[in-house]
């Protein structure tokens, strides 16, 4: 998280988002908009993407919302690439050994979330998206190698 002052481009972007939300929110309450953003967070988790922490995921969303997210991702393929780079920045210094209470071995979302995530996975071609990401990564590596 950046503790510095917001830059002009960051302020421009956030104000644009605000005005876009203001124009789109006619007839919707503040709570309704916040709840929908929580649903978007849940859909992004279903796609294996990061979400805004302030909008805690609520997994009881319409499948149409996941379809909208899928269409947005198809129109903005650079988002997944940039997100992957932020989530996995590459080589880093090894973290110190963990000392404390060992973590649990459970590596699955709670049951309430599992059915929604499975519904998204059944509806969308996750393997196809993975293949596109791999080919994009390979093309990037080849470009760097030839450069």
Instruction: For 79-131, write each residue's pLDDT tens digit.
Output: 876 666 565 555 555 566 666 666 666 665 566 777 777 777 777 777 888 88
| Residue 66 belongs to some domain of the structure | yes
| Residue 44 belongs to some domain of the structure | yes
pLDDT (tens digit, 9 = 90+) per residue, 30-87?
A: 888 889 889 999 888 888 888 888 889 988 888 888 888 888 888 888 887 666 656 5
List the domain range (segments joined by +) for residue 58.
Answer: 10-76+112-125
pLDDT value of residue 141:
93
| Residue 145 belongs to some domain of the structure | no
Buried b (16+ CB within 10 A) or exposed e, 106-131: eeebeeebeebbeebeeebeeeebee
Instruction: Look at residue 2 and tell me whether its pLDDT is greater than 60.
Output: no
| Residue 27 belongs to some domain of the structure | yes
Q: How many domains does the chain have?
A: 1
Top-confidence residue, 23 or 143: 143
pTM summary value: 0.55
| Residue 98 belongs to some domain of the structure | no
| Residue 23 belongs to some domain of the structure | yes
| Residue 106 belongs to some domain of the structure | no
| Residue 19 belongs to some domain of the structure | yes
Q: 23 falls in which pLDDT band (50, 70, 90)? A: confident
């Amino acid at each position: 998280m950046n503790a510095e002052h917001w830059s002009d481009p960051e302020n421009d972007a956030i104000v644009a988002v605000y005005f876009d939300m203001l124009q789109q929110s006619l007839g919707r309450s503040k709570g309704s908009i916040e709840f929908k953003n929580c649903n978007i967070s849940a859909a992004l988790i279903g796609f294996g993407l990061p979400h805004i922490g302030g909008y805690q995921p609520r997994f009881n969303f319409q499948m149409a919302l996941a379809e909208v997210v899928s269409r947005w991702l198809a129109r903005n393929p650079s988002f997944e690439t940039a997100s992957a780079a932020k989530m996995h920045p590459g080589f880093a210094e090894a973290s110190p050994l963990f000392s404390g209470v060992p973590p649990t071995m459970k590596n699955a979302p709670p049951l309430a979330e599992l059915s929604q995530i499975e519904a998204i996975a059944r509806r969308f071609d996750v393997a196809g998206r993975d293949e596109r990401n791999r080919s994009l990564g390979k093309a990037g590596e080849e470009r760097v190698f030839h450069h």
